[in-house]
Structure 1
Amino acid sequence: MASRGKLVLGSAFAVGVVVLAGCGASTDGKAEPATATTGAGSSMAADAPSSYDPCKDVPQAVLDSEKLRRTRVVNDDTSAGVKWRGCAFIRSDGYGVSITTTNLTVDATRSRNFPETTEFTVNGRRAISTRQFDGQYIKEACTVNVEMKDGSLDFNLNNPQSNRDTGSTDSCVLARGLAEKVVPSLPATA
């Protein structure tokens, strides 16, 4: 099974290997990926939405304002059919984030009952933020999913407190702020 949740962000993070999302219970102190079930009655599209490519379509002005640089492509699939398509970005001395399209909907994310689930809107689209990481690092990670046709735009952000530039800011505040900057670039039909 692919593990889109594992993202090596180099020496910028004290943790080394950072699990960015989709985590469930832990076993022997190690985070385990969350199952890909989407809840009773929830359906999932066969693939992640292709109407927006985070690797190409996130405006450069947004990346510049957040001091983000692209580090790698993030294309992951789970055996249960969940798919992510996009790119990972990092800010030196700051947070790391994967911005992907996924066939997980806002409703499917809500049905998982992750900690600190908060619903809101971004540029007229339904959105949800969740903490999808168990254990001592739960506050360092936050995922925001913004509604798209047949899925969502997923901002999977990790922000350890040791980061000089952003470590004192809540990861969900950062993820929501980034979503508010990026989502206006989504096509209206996406």
Structure 2
Amino acid sequence: MTSRANTLLGAAFVVAAVVLLSGCGPSTGGEAKPSASSTSAGQTQAANAPSAYDPCKDVPQAVLDSEKLRQTRIVNDDTSAGVKWRGCAYIRSNGYVVSITTTNLTVDTTRSRNFPETAEFTINGRRAISTRQFDGPFIKEACTLNVEMKGGSLDFNLSNPPSNRDTGSIDSCVLARGLAEKVVPSLPASA
């Protein structure tokens, strides 16, 4: 497969991942949305994704360079259930694709969903959780990692098919954690 085909496949996988993670929920029918909503576990969800960090501008260039990542698109996704993602998608030629976003989903909300292969740890003093959120043949190719922020989390949604020449032999959750460990120190302490 050519690198361009890998790039397109990876980008398509990220889009599919966002659609799968978005889920379905009732429409507000044009009514005003509440300032916070309740999740399935009864936890309160902030109305908006945290704004103290902009993954399109605040990820250090040195991190992007070390991972050979280049920005491909802006991610500005909302679900009818009130979940929001704000940030950017990045791609590594012959390697993984990742969206780095702030979201109003918290580490606790992610844990309550009981995804397969959930692992909890800390990164730079912040609670973090990695999960496999896909069924079927793609489960090992994708990993979602959330790092605690006020009002939500910093979300790394990484896709790494085995056909990727540079990174395909590395577990997607290992890649996501390594990237998060480089990015999270750039979060402001107040975020």
Task: Bin the TM-score by the shorter chain.
Answer: 0.7 to 0.9
TM-score, structure 1 normalization: 0.86
Secondary structure, counterpart of 2:148 in structure 1: strand
Distance 1:176 1:35 in 2: 28
State the alpha-carbon separation in 1 of the partners of residues 126 and 19 from structure 2.
22
Amino acid in the other structure paired with 1:59? P
Counterpart of 1:75 in structure 2: which amino acid?
N
1:103 and 2:97 equivalent? no
Letter in 2 for 1:92: S
1:65-80 superposed matches below 5 A: 65-80=66-81
Alignment partner, residue 48 of structure 2: 47
Computing the radius of gyration from Cα coordinates, the structure with the larger value is 2
1:43-89: CA deviation from partner (whole Å, max 9, x where unpaired): 10000000000000000000000000000000000000000000000
In the alignment, what sits opposite 1:20? 17
- Consecutive unaligned residues of structure 2, counting only runs of 5 or more, are 26-37
The structure whose residues are more often helix, as a share, is 2
- Name the structure 1 match of 2:31: none
Residue 146 of structure 1: how far off its partner (Å): 0.1
Q: Secondary structure of the residue that 2:81 maps to in structure 1?
A: coil
- How far residue 35 of structure 1 moved from its aligned partner, in angstroms, is 5.1
TM-score when normalising by structure 2: 0.86
Structure 1 unaligned runs (5+)?
1-8, 25-32
Deviation of 1:15 after TM superposition, in Å, equals 4.0
RMSD of aligned residue pairs (Cα, Å): 1.9
Shift in alpha-carbon separation, 1:189–1:34, aligned structure 2, 3 A: same
Amino acid in structure 2 at the alignment position of 1:39: S
The answer to whether the 8 Å contact 2:7/2:93 transfers is: no
1:144-183 aligned within 5 A: 144-183=145-184
Shift of 1:39: 2.6
- Number of equivalent positions: 174
SS in 2 for 1:52: coil
Kept in 1, the 8 Å contact 2:23–2:79? The answer is: no
Cα distance, 1:134 vs structure 2: 1.2
Identity %: 76
Q: Are residue 88 (structure 1) and residue 89 (structure 2) matched? A: yes
